[in-house]
Structure 1
């Protein structure tokens, strides 16, 4: 809409942001830069006259601030994380939130390589001892990185950049990422993708991880994984504190299980005294830095230029390149689809953390084919882009550099294509599935992960009409009630639970005593159960000839289950620190076939 005055749009910058970025705005906009910071009450007083707000991490953009911003059209975060911005309140108010997920890619990748070289040549220890007046040349013999093997977990933008740099150093690179595009990886020079993390640990000389911190990546590398590695191996972390179990890493270094570590991030920063992280900082085999991965002049300039360019685009009525929320949908459409977008994102995260992590036979490498089926009133929605984006965000979050926050309706299709994910949307107006014949729910959603995409066009059409499941495919169904979302089916099991928080999903024999046994295990570890639900086999689907659909566990366990009796899923919402020991205790309990840890 055209302004009724000649007033220039006003942009408030209540933190220090690179002048290179602000210079892009000064000619056409009134830029109020306050690098010293703005107190919360003063921000509330200023915001009603502001058209755009550019912040870093210190300014808290609360719902109260957003409600007061009657002219506010865009909030820009000069960086990646938007934890200091109430994105939900912004979206409800029609305010676009943008960030800069790519601005620090080079900085993070270069710091990874810097730590790799520093650990290989004992640079940190050499610098310290030399300044202390000791000349310990004989004690500081290092290794060359050329012709060594680097293992990368997470081939996102940073991981791929690290791969290119290390290939340039003459290294051989292998990687683990279920959603990596194999063609792109091969073009980059990655020698191969492995289906399981354990497959590459015995042969690598260096290991670097570039994933967000989720239930599936917390303590990703622990005692068992360190024991698979060479005693000459070194590990690197410029991603998130917690992907390595710090106590296990400390023990591995002390016992010579591995040779060294380069660490930029820790579970708590700065670490508390006398914790494993604190001891790692001081360990002679560790090169440590205080979270410097994105701390370069260029990175700060890059994110500033990026977000300022996007702010100018939004103020001109154009599309931003990195919208965190959904700018291309009408407010009334957004209100109707909002709970379904939440549901579908949780379904995607549930698939990746439950099904894809449970059995390598279902993961493999390369592309994925999914069907997202809308039933009931939802099938009549004309603009389903927010729903597609929500699915992609949920699927890629565990192996995305930014935890999926960069995925939005503007770039969801491109992200899916880059990751080798193929999604077919089906608007099936019939009300079939989850036992909700007779329109038990006004709308529900089915996510199918296809074991094969082959079949005649007629067979595909029949599947659309019936809601049927191909043998070997995996299915999640869910529905919305009010503003709450629920999962009503997990593969062959009927369920009814809210997919949020930390969940333990146990596949077990349906026999007396299982609930008590699981409760005892969790009680010993001090873990509280918030809720519990037992999901039973869908006997109607079994009788209908769909009992060939395989669950997430390995085939041997499936055969055992069929021989010993009925099966069930036990779904637990929990509070507490679920370590690998907890999962292993549950997995080895009598009658338990498989255990998945999921965080949503």
Structure 2
């Protein structure tokens, strides 16, 4: 049986599928070659994608013999889950495989904001010795606000607590005795209160109609002038033009964006003109360890479904 991989997949997952007897065709740029992708789809029994491949009606209609779609990650806004369900195609995600890596990205962003070592290094190399200018601040006793309290937020909270931070969270789908609150000690608050109290606001919700532009020009004035917002979830949850205005007006100190509404970043994007908005190329979950876990999990779960089994990672 044949499997088509349309985006970056770590080699150990590909080799595992081949070891199990599958023919695996791999083109990490195929998601950007739409016509070729649609032409190839009818010949494959299983498909493995990431976030750039648009699994829409046109895609699903072309995937005539596909038995399962594996998603190398957890975001599902690029996949028509209902359309796949109607066609009897299970979609499986790499449930929690990159959660630790994303949590560590959030910690790295907060540490960078509080102690900008790269900027200090560059300044010293210019011949300066600005000890007062680069006097930072401790994360201890600062407040981290988590918008969304799923597994990644849970792991962020555990690490932030270890740094002595206060952690609060907003999630309308979390009950008072759920483990993320009871086991981690997050204080559950309403959204506006979270924005008012937090020194750092970290986004951990999916992109959907309810969360589109959730953080916008109405919300930024509620935040502290020294606060940062961190988005490692999905582009579009923060209104980017409103963010630029808020930072330039000094309503907030800045942002760390690993995800954007349009990826890769556009050359004329206003985000690129603001130094205190730090951009990274959708890499929060892309550590070596997470890549390997994600690839191996999807390989194993695709194989399970192809052999008539039920996957715990099925999302539709």
Q: Shorter chain as normaliser: what TM range?
A: 0.7 to 0.9
| Pairwise CA RMSD | 3.1
**Deviations, residues 467-502 of structure 1 (Å, cap 9, x unaligned):** xxxxxxxxxxxxxxxxxxxxxxxxxxxxxxxxxxxx
Query: How much has 1:275 moved relative to structure 2?
Result: 4.5
Is the contact between residue 119 and residue 261 of structure 1 (CA under 8 Å) also seen in structure 2? no
Measured in 2, the distance between the counterparts of 1:179 and 1:46 equals: 37
Match of 1:383 in 2: none
Match of 2:262 in 1: 268
Corresponding residue to 1:28 among 8, 11, 20: 20
Match of 1:321 in 2: 312
Match of 2:63 in 1: 66
Measured in 1, the distance between the counterparts of 2:241 and 2:37 equals: 45
Corresponding residue to 2:215 among 207, 221, 233: 221
Q: Look up the SS of the partner of 1:112 in the other structure.
A: helix
Match of 2:150 in 1: 156
Change (3 A) 1:286 1:59: closer
The unaligned stretches of length 5 or more in structure 1 are 1-8, 326-600
Is the contact between residue 208 and residue 237 of structure 1 (CA under 8 Å) also seen in structure 2? yes
Question: Given the alignment of the two structures, is residue 212 of structure 1 paired with residue 206 of structure 2, yes or no?
Answer: yes
Measured in 2, the distance between the counterparts of 1:244 and 1:85 equals: 21
Match of 2:284 in 1: 293
- Segment of structure 1 superposing worse, 219-228 or 148-157: 219-228
Measured in 2, the distance between the counterparts of 1:45 and 1:225 equals: 45
Measured in 1, the distance between the counterparts of 2:237 and 2:158 equals: 23
Change (3 A) 1:95 1:200: closer
Change (3 A) 1:199 1:309: same
**TM-score, reference length from structure 1:** 0.46
**Deviations, residues 4-61 of structure 1 (Å, cap 9, x unaligned):** xxxxx4444455522322343334323334346667558746844x433333456666
Bigger relative contact order, structure 1 or 2 (CA pairs below 8 A, ≥6 apart):
2
Q: Look up the SS of the partner of 2:132 in the other structure.
A: helix
Is the contact between residue 103 and residue 156 of structure 2 (CA under 8 Å) also seen in structure 1? yes
**Deviations, residues 40-85 of structure 1 (Å, cap 9, x unaligned):** 558746844x433333456666234322x2xx42222222345665
Is the contact between residue 77 and residue 208 of structure 2 (CA under 8 Å) also seen in structure 1? no
Match of 2:224 in 1: 230
Match of 1:303 in 2: 294
Corresponding residue to 2:97 among 76, 100, 103: 103
Q: Look up the SS of the partner of 1:137 in the other structure.
A: coil
Aligned pairs for 1:455-466 (under 5 A) are: none
Aligned pairs for 1:34-183 (under 5 A) are: 34-35=26-27, 44=39, 47-48=42-43, 50-57=44-51, 62-67=59-64, 69=65, 72-81=66-75, 87-88=81-82, 90-132=84-126, 134-183=128-177
Change (3 A) 1:222 1:146: same
Query: How much has 1:162 moved relative to structure 2?
Result: 0.9
Is the contact between residue 242 and residue 267 of structure 1 (CA under 8 Å) also seen in structure 2? yes
Is the contact between residue 175 and residue 190 of structure 1 (CA under 8 Å) also seen in structure 2? no
- Segment of structure 1 superposing worse, 196-205 or 104-113: 196-205
Query: How much has 1:317 moved relative to structure 2?
Result: 1.4
Is the contact between residue 17 and residue 35 of structure 1 (CA under 8 Å) also seen in structure 2? no
Q: Look up the SS of the partner of 2:220 in the other structure.
A: helix
Measured in 1, the distance between the counterparts of 2:215 and 2:8 equals: 37
The structure with the largest alpha-carbon Rg is 1
Q: Look up the SS of the partner of 1:217 in the other structure.
A: coil
Aligned pairs for 1:432-447 (under 5 A) are: none
**Deviations, residues 351-389 of structure 1 (Å, cap 9, x unaligned):** xxxxxxxxxxxxxxxxxxxxxxxxxxxxxxxxxxxxxxx
Match of 1:570 in 2: none
Measured in 1, the distance between the counterparts of 2:42 and 2:76 equals: 19
Change (3 A) 1:121 1:98: same
Change (3 A) 1:22 1:149: same
Measured in 1, the distance between the counterparts of 2:54 and 2:198 equals: 43
Q: Look up the SS of the partner of 1:76 in the other structure.
A: strand
Query: How much has 1:154 moved relative to structure 2?
Result: 0.8
**TM-score, reference length from structure 2:** 0.82
Query: How much has 1:128 moved relative to structure 2?
Result: 4.2
Is the contact between residue 17 and residue 304 of structure 1 (CA under 8 Å) also seen in structure 2? yes
Measured in 1, the distance between the counterparts of 2:206 and 2:38 equals: 32
Question: Given the alignment of the two structures, is residue 243 of structure 1 paired with residue 240 of structure 2, yes or no?
Answer: no
Measured in 1, the distance between the counterparts of 2:87 and 2:224 equals: 54
Q: Look up the SS of the partner of 2:195 in the other structure.
A: helix
Match of 1:17 in 2: 9
Between the two proteins, the alignment pairs up a number of residues equal to 309
Q: Look up the SS of the partner of 2:16 in the other structure.
A: coil
Is the contact between residue 94 and residue 298 of structure 2 (CA under 8 Å) also seen in structure 1? yes
Query: How much has 1:111 moved relative to structure 2?
Result: 0.8
Measured in 1, the distance between the counterparts of 2:127 and 2:209 equals: 46
